[in-house]
Homo-oligomer: A and B are copies of this chain.
Amino acid sequence: MAEEGVKVHGFWISPYSTRVEIALKMKGVKYEYVEEDLQNKSSELLQYNHVHKKVPVLIHNGKAIAESKIILEYIDETWKNNPIMPQDPHEKAMARFWAKFIDDEFLQPLRKALFFGEMEVEKAIEETKVNLKILEKVLEGKNFFGGERIGLVDIVATSIAYWVPLFEKAVEKKMLTEEFPKLCNWKNKYVNHNIIKEALPPKDKSIAYFRARFAKFRTSS
C-alpha cells in the first residue's frame, strides 16, 4: 500500500519515469505505480498532465506534478532524508546545469537517430562522444556526479548508464569505451548500486525493445 497517497504514472522503459522511481526508492517512499499504454493513455494522465500528456506524472496528496527533473526536485523538497540536491547554492546550480545538459544536449542525437530517424547513426555517435568528453571532465575527482553519493545528475544520467548501452547493442557500435575511464567506472558503480539495480527495467526485455525500435525505423525509412 502506497504511503501518503503517492502514485507514479510511467512507462516501463522511459528513462524519465525511471528517474522518478529511483528518487522515491532512495527516499524510501512507497508508491503505487501505474503503467501507461502510450498509444491509449489513461484519462487520469490526460487530466493530470493536460499540457504535455506525457509520462512521468507524480501524484501526491491529490496534486499532480509533471516533468521528470521538476518531480525530482519536488521529491527532494518533500522528503528530506537522503538528499538528492547539494545544499550550497552554487553546487545546486551546477547540478541543475548538468542535469539540463544531459536532457537538452546529450540525449538529443541518440533520440533523433534511434527513435525519429532524423539523424544518421554515425553522426549521433560522433556528437555523443563529444558530450561524453565533457561529462568525463565533470567526474574528475569524484565517484558519482553527486560527489561521494548519488545525486540529481546521477539520477538524470541513468540515461547514460543504462540507455546508452542499450543504444550500443541496438546499433552494434560502442561509445562508452576506455576513452572514458571515469564514466565507465561511474556507470559500473551506478548500475550495480542496490537501489538503482532494483529500479531499472529488465535487461533482456529492454534490449529487445531497443532493437525492435531501431529495426522498425530502418525498415520503414
Contacts and interface: CB of A to CB of B under 8 A. Distances in A.
Interface of A: 51, 60, 63, 65-67, 70-71, 73-74, 77-78, 89-90, 92-94, 96-97, 100-101, 105, 134
Nearest to A77: B89
Number of this chain's copies in the complex: 2
A90 B71 CA distance: 10
Given A51-B134, A101-B51, A134-B51, A92 B67 contact: no
A84 to B, nearest CB: 13
A46 B62 CA distance: 46
Contacts of A60: 90
A40 to B, nearest CB: 24
Given A63-B90, A65-B90, A97 B70 contact: yes
10 contacts: A51-B105, A60-B90, A65-B93, A65-B94, A65-B97, A70-B96, A73-B93, A74-B93, A77-B89, A78-B89
